[in-house]
Amino acid sequence: MPERLQKILSAHGAASRREAERLIQDGRVTVNGIKAELGQSAEFGIDEIAIDGKLLEPVDELVYIMLNKPRGYVTTVSDERGRKTVMELVSDVGARVYPVGRLDLNSEGLLLMTNDGQFANAVAHPSFNNTKIYEVRVRGDAETAVKRLCQPIMIDSHLVVASDARLIKHTADGGVLSISIVEGRNRQIRKMCNECGLYVQSLKRVSVGALKLGALGTGKWRHLTAAERSLLK
């Protein structure tokens, strides 16, 4: 049965749906040898679907991992500017996985990766209320900003709000905050802090839903347990 091309790419571990759309727009996806268009449908197993000339293969095993992303890596499958990507950190997983959501270049912490498109979409969708918690070191009046962060703030023409914000400790020039959000717009935490007069010095995601980063070392990854996967879905 024909399905949207980006859904097929996601379901077969090639990319998240958002990343799949980008691959199609960049002209890197073909169907039966013809460059694909966004919104196009195809049928896996009947049509020949390829990315950069390599045929899309069926997923042999579904894989779910968490990575403790370091700073200095972009959260994409590839980068046109030649920057390091998180794919370099999971080359020994034994399967092609892709990121669920994003952490920007200078952010670190818990990043989920999988080749299960349905799982990725479920975890990322706001309706599942998988709250993400970040520890953020800031410069500025952190105590006053905590109250403002829990009120609606206009970011990129959208009203956003932290579901919780607390001051963990004072520092010489600011403090360390715990900020919780449900949605995850581009650089949302940084932009919210900026609107509250704060400069973000470091940002680390420490949990997604009930899943916590724990003692996982920087740059290291591990498989999720079945119980952890259930908690997220």
Strand 199-208 and strand 108-114: the pairing is parallel
Q: What are phi and psi of 231, to 5 degrees?
A: -60, -35
Q: What are phi and psi of 11, to 5 degrees?
A: -65, -25
d(CA 17, CA 32): 21
Please answer whether residues 211 and 66 qualify as being in contact, where contact means their C-beta atoms are separated by less than 8 angstroms. yes
Q: Is 104 a catalytic residue?
A: yes
Closest CA to 49 of 80, 101, 12: 12
d(CA 7, CA 16): 9
Please answer whether residues 90 and 97 qualify as being in contact, where contact means their C-beta atoms are separated by less than 8 angstroms. yes
> Which structure tokens are listed for 194?
């900026």
Of 26, 52, 104, 156, which residue is the catalytic one?
A: 104
Q: How far is CA 189 from CA 73, 99, 214, in A?
A: 18, 19, 21
Catalytic residues: 104
